Amino acid sequence: SDSSDKSSDSSSSSDDVITVGFSQVGAESDWRTANSQSMKDTFSKENGYDLIFDDAQQKQENQITAIRNFIQQEVDYILLAPVTETGWDTVLQEAKDADIPVIIVDRMVDVSDDSLYTTWIGTDALCEGRKAAEWLNGFAEAKGIAASDIHIADIQGTIGSTAQIGRTKGLEEGVDKYGWDLVAQQTGEFTQAKGQEVMESMLKQYDNINVVYCENDNEAFGAIDAIEAAGKTVGSDIANGEIMVISFDTTHAGLQDVLDGKIECDVECNPLHGPRAEELIKKLEAGEDVDKLNYVDEEIFAHDDTVKSVKATNSLDEEKDFDVTPLT
Ligand code: GZL
Ligand code: ZN
C-alpha cells in the first residue's frame, strides 16, 4: 500500500516547509526498517517536509543527544520512537521549554507528567501478548493438550521497551490463568542473531521446551535456525516432539514462515506509522485538538484454522473478539 498520502493541496512553498526531527530506535529488525521507510516516505521533500532522521543504534543516550540537536536546530516537531520507557523527563522538559511539540511513535514513554509529550501513536503491546496467549490456550484446548504439558521458552524483546513489557505481561497472565510451565525467559534484543544465540543456550539447558514465544519475527527466524540446527523440527505437532513457534510483527518473511508452518501464530504489529503521524501533525498545524493516545488496530495470523477467533482485553480495558486469519 502507498504509505505516503500525497497532500493534495500542498500549500508548502519553501518557507512553509515543516521541519521534523525523528529520533529512531535503530535498525534492529525488519519491523523497524519498515517503520523507518514509512516515516521517510511520508516526511519527504515533495510532501513539504524537511526530515532530520537519526538512528540511535538502540542506545537511549544517542536518542537524547539527537533530541537536543533537534532543539538546537529549532525543528517544528520532534518525533520520538523511544527505545525504552523510562529516562525521558529531562530532555522532554527541554523540548517543552523550547516550545517544540513532541510526538511519541510506536513504544511509550513513562514520564512523571504526560504534558511532556503532545500525542502518541502506536500499537497495543499488552493486547498483542494477550491475543497470543489466548490463541495458545485455544490451540491447546482444540488439540487436547494439557496445560501442564506446555513448556514455554520466552525470548523477550529489548528489556524495558513497551513491546517487551506488554508481550511478556500478556504471556505471564496466560501462564497464571492456564497453568502452563514457563521454562525460561531471556531477552533476544529483537534481533535474529541474539534470538538464535538465546535459543541455542536454552535448548542446551532444557530438554522439555515445546513452545517458543518470540517477541518479534527476527527473534523467531534466529530461534528456528537454532531449533533446526539442534536436529529438532518446528511445527504444531508438539505431542510428537515438534517445537511450536509463536511470534509478533507479521513481517513479510514472518508470514512466509506462517504459510510454511514454521511459525504457527504471528500477531500483527503494524509499522506504517508515517501517515498516522502526518495526520496528527496536520491537525496540530490547523490548531485542532488531537487525542493523547492513538492506538492502531491489529490482526492475528495462524498457519491453520484450529483457532478461529480469540477474546482479549486491550490497554483501554475493552474486551474484544479478534478473528484469526489462517494462511494455509
Ligand atoms: C513494536 C516495536 C518492536 C517490534 C520489533 O511496537 O517496538 O520493535 O515488534 C522492533 O520488531 O524491533
Ligand atoms: Zn500448522
Closest alpha carbon to 262 in 224, 304, 227 = 224
Q: Which residue has the cell 538465546?
A: 198
Going by alpha carbons, the residue nearest to atom 2 of ligand 1 is 163
* Alpha-carbon span 91 to 203, nearest angstrom: 42
Where do the H-state alpha helices sit in the chain? 30-42, 60-72, 89-97, 125-143, 162-178, 192-205, 217-229, 252-259, 274-285
Tell me which ligand sits closest to the C-alpha of residue 236.
2
Last residue of a domain, one of 67, 97, 117: 117
Question: Are residues 199 and 316 located together in one domain of the fold?
Answer: yes
Is 280 among the domain residues? Answer: no
Interval 143-172 mean pLDDT: 98
Is residue 153 in a domain? yes
Q: How far apart are CA 215 and CA 120, in angstroms?
A: 22
Over residues 179-195, mean pLDDT = 98
pLDDT at position 15: 67
Expressed in angstroms, the distance from the first to the final Cα of the chain is 23
Tens-digit pLDDT profile for residues 9-43: 444 445 689 999 999 999 999 999 999 999 999 99
Amino acid 213: pLDDT: 99
Question: Is 289 among the domain residues?
Answer: no
Task: State the Cα–Cα distance between residues 102 and 177, nearest whole angstrom.
Answer: 39
Which of 32, 83, 107, 120 most suits a substitution to test ligand 1, by most atoms within 8 Å of the C-beta? Answer: 32
Query: Does the pLDDT at position 1 exceed 50?
Result: no
| pLDDT number for residue 3 | 43
Q: What pLDDT is attached to residue 16?
A: 87
Residue 172 and residue 109 share a domain: no
Looking at the chain, the whole-number percentage of residues with pLDDT higher than 90 is 95
Instruction: Identify any residues that bridge with 156 across adjacent strands, giving them in sequence order.
Output: 187
Closest protein CA for atom 8 of ligand 1: 32
Shared-domain flag, residues 112 and 152: no
Same domain, 231 and 197: yes
Among the candidates 73, 93, 117, a domain finishes at 117
pLDDT beyond 80 at 212: yes
Distances from the Cα of 243 to the Cα of 100, 152, 227, 239, angstroms: 49, 10, 8, 9
Residues with CB under 5 A from ligand 2 (ion): 236, 261, 303-304
303 and 210 fall within a common domain: yes
Q: Does residue 165 share a domain with residue 82?
A: no
- Whether 309 and 218 share a structural domain: yes
- Structural domain harbouring 208: 125-270+299-326
pLDDT, tens only, 46-101: 999 999 999 999 999 999 999 999 999 999 999 999 999 999 999 999 999 999 99
pLDDT tens digit string along 217-273?
999 999 999 999 999 999 999 999 999 999 999 999 999 999 999 999 999 999 999
**Separation between Cα atoms, residue 167 and residue 63, nearest integer Å:** 24
Total domains present in the chain: 2
Of 4 and 164, the one with more pLDDT: 164
Q: How many other C-beta atoms lie within 10 A of the C-beta of residue 288?
A: 9
Last residue of a domain, one of 87, 117, 147: 117
| pLDDT exceeds 80 at position 180 | yes
Looking at the fold, whether 166 and 35 belong to one and the same domain comes out as no
Ligand 1 centroid from CA 8, angstroms: 32
6 within a domain of the structure (yes/no):
no
- Do 176 and 67 fall within a single domain? no
Q: ipTM for the complex? A: 0.95
Are 169 and 199 in the same domain?
yes
Q: What is the pLDDT of residue 7?
A: 47
CATH number at residue 219: 3.40.50.2300
Q: Are 154 and 215 in contact (CB under 8 A)?
A: yes
Mean pLDDT value across residues 123-127: 97
Strand partners, 51: 20
**CA-derived radius of gyration, the chain:** 21
Examine residue 3 and state whether it is found in any structural domain, yes or no: no
Q: Closest Cα to residue 300, out of 289, 308, 292?
A: 308
Q: What is the pLDDT of residue 11?
A: 46
- Tell me, yes or no, whether 86 and 50 share the same domain: yes
State in Å: Cα 30 to ligand 1 middle.
9
User: Which residues have any ligand 1 atom within 6 Å of their CB?
Assistant: 28-29, 31-32, 106-107, 123, 161, 163, 190, 216, 248-249, 269
| 188 within domain boundaries | yes
Q: Mean pLDDT in the chain?
A: 95
Q: Tell me the CA–centroid distance for residue 298 and ligand 2, in Å.
A: 21
Q: Are residues 34 and 77 in the same domain?
A: yes
User: Maximum Cα–Cα distance for the chain, whole Å?
Assistant: 67
Residue 277: is it exposed, middle or buried by C-beta count within 10 angstroms (0-12/13-18/19+)? buried
> If you search the block for the grid coordinates 543504534, which residue do you land on?
57
What value does the mean pLDDT take over residues 200-208?
A: 98
